[in-house]
Amino acid sequence: MLHSGEDKSDVVQLPEGVTPFIRITQNEFLGRKHKKLKEEDIAICVCKYDADDPESACGEGCLNVQTSTECTPGYCQCGETCRNQRFQKCEYAKTKLFRTEGRGWGLLADENIKDGQFIIEYCGEVISSEEAKKRCRAYEAHDLKDAYLISLDANYFIDATRKGSFARFINHSCQPNCVTRKWTVLGETRVGIFAKQDISVGMELAYNYNFEWYGGATVRCLCGAANCSVFLGAKSQGFQEYNHVWEDGDDRYTVEKIPLYDSAEDECFPVISGTSGGNEPTKILNDSEGTMCKLEPSNSTCKNYNIGSGSTPKKKPQRIPKRKIKSSRRKQVNDGDFAKRFASKEAREEITKYEGIKNEATSKLNSVYEEIRPTIEEHGLDNQDSVSTSVAETWIEAHCSKYKADFDLYFSVIKNVMYPHPATDSFAAGPSEGGVGPQTANAEANPPLGGAE
């Protein structure tokens, strides 16, 4: 197998089946030259090399390192010992290309990598958003299914489709072991892949693409993480708003909450109307530092990406109004006082007990909601990713208790309808009292069903 950190030649020997590309170790600029730094703009640190302290030569304490700026050769007093020229010197970790299951090619660590270590630069052609849009259409026309474009800043993109580094093979994961970071190198912004934890040799490298999704066909995520969002971009607001399936009071159910069939071959997951085919709405690819790659509608059937300026889509997705934060009270469901509809005392007592538990759980849920409401509002609408884990846990716990209480109550009602106790007091109503089910006294004792405790 090929070690991505070894072969520095332009045209690389690739394993069979990999679409050829030209390997570059520095971004190439389309339509402009590399910036030439003016002397007064060069950031010069104050580090001095001390043979007894390797950190002295532009380690973590270096002013340039702290501002994610590489030192400029000839200007850094540490000279050759400067350790802050990793992009310039291609100080990549050893990695290896391998074939994944269902996700095309991927890149794995070919040596142990330390938390925070620079792994590789995401190199490609630096192009404007206009050019990105054009290229995207061309790629779609050629039915390329993998997307290799990431955003560099508001106006530029890095396209690693035809020319790039091996970083182009790093797949997305919802639980990644790498992150992207932007660094300023000789006046230009460059994107590096860094380890966000220790990575052992043989582990696949992955970072979170942070797709911002505004419609179009969905790409099923096969990262296999326990917290997988099921689709690339499923957590983005665009995806959530566009792909919601139904709303029920406060709750909005999106496609990601619907159970999927496991088989990758079966396309059994829900088809969301209006999201496929020729009129694909806008889609945005967002790198982990928050800059965005606007993706636009296209007329092709390409599923993975549409890149463009972000101008008006041909067919606007139906915008679903953002969920309003409830004023002060959550909706209270009136279950209709089931207990009093039963003829037997035992049934009434049992159901009354469960009604009490359910009311308590509802009140608890309401008060938890009141507690977390400021946090939710503070973090901007309903993005549950923004609230802290402890808040989310409290909220989930209150929901679970409420669901259990609901279940217990309804179970008890159904049980008493199906297997009624004999009517034991004068309350036993005739049909006009509106019993929930058959009210005939049943000589048979309790049903062979247990309670729902």
For binding to ligand SAM (CB under 6 A), which residues are involved?
103-106, 145-148, 168-169, 171-172, 221-223, 304
CA–CA dist 426, 205 (Å, integer): 73
* Cα separations in angstroms, 174 against 116, 178, 179, 232, 240: 19, 11, 11, 9, 16
SS3 at position 268:
coil
Q: In the complex, what is the shortest distance from the CB of residue 99 to ligand SAM, in angstroms, rounded to a whole number? A: 8
Q: In the complex, what is the shortest distance from the CB of residue 227 to ligand SAM, in angstroms, rounded to a whole number? A: 13
Q: In the complex, what is the shortest distance from the CB of residue 63 to ligand SAM, in angstroms, rounded to a whole number? A: 34
Residue 121 backbone dihedrals phi, psi, to 5 degrees: -90, 140
**How many CB atoms are located within 10 Å of the residue 144 CB?**
16
Question: Residue 233: left (phi > 0), alpha (psi -120 to 50), or beta?
Answer: left
Q: In the complex, what is the shortest distance from the CB of residue 171 to ligand SAM, in angstroms, rounded to a whole number? A: 3
122 vs 354 by CB, closer to ligand SAM: 122
CA–CA dist 418, 436 (Å, integer): 10
Q: Which amino acid belongs to residue 340?
A: K
Alpha helices in 67-175 (DSSP H): 129-141
305 vs 338 by CB, closer to ligand SAM: 305
203 vs 452 by CB, closer to ligand SAM: 203
SS3 at position 397:
helix
57 vs 123 by CB, closer to ligand SAM: 123
CA–CA dist 76, 88 (Å, integer): 14
Q: In the complex, what is the shortest distance from the CB of residue 19 to ligand SAM, in angstroms, rounded to a whole number? A: 7
63 vs 260 by CB, closer to ligand SAM: 260
225 vs 325 by CB, closer to ligand SAM: 225
Q: In the complex, what is the shortest distance from the CB of residue 242 to ligand SAM, in angstroms, rounded to a whole number? A: 19
157 vs 169 by CB, closer to ligand SAM: 169
159 vs 408 by CB, closer to ligand SAM: 159
Residue 330 backbone dihedrals phi, psi, to 5 degrees: -80, 155
Q: In the complex, what is the shortest distance from the CB of residue 280 to ligand SAM, in angstroms, rounded to a whole number? A: 15
Q: In the complex, what is the shortest distance from the CB of residue 223 to ligand SAM, in angstroms, rounded to a whole number? A: 4
Q: In the complex, what is the shortest distance from the CB of residue 180 to ligand SAM, in angstroms, rounded to a whole number? A: 12
Torsion, Cα of 227, 233, 235, 241 (10° steps): -140
CA–CA dist 115, 153 (Å, integer): 26
* Beta bridge mates, 164: 23
Residue 216 contacts by C-beta under 8 Å, 6 or more apart in sequence?
A: 275, 276, 280, 281, 282, 283, 295, 297, 303, 306
Residue 236 gets which letter from DSSP?
S
Q: In the complex, what is the shortest distance from the CB of residue 228 to ligand SAM, in angstroms, rounded to a whole number? A: 8
199 vs 285 by CB, closer to ligand SAM: 285
CA–CA dist 68, 219 (Å, integer): 33
The CB-nearest residue to ligand SAM is 104
* Cα separations in angstroms, 55 against 50, 60, 108, 203: 8, 7, 29, 29
CA–CA dist 412, 339 (Å, integer): 10
92 vs 369 by CB, closer to ligand SAM: 92
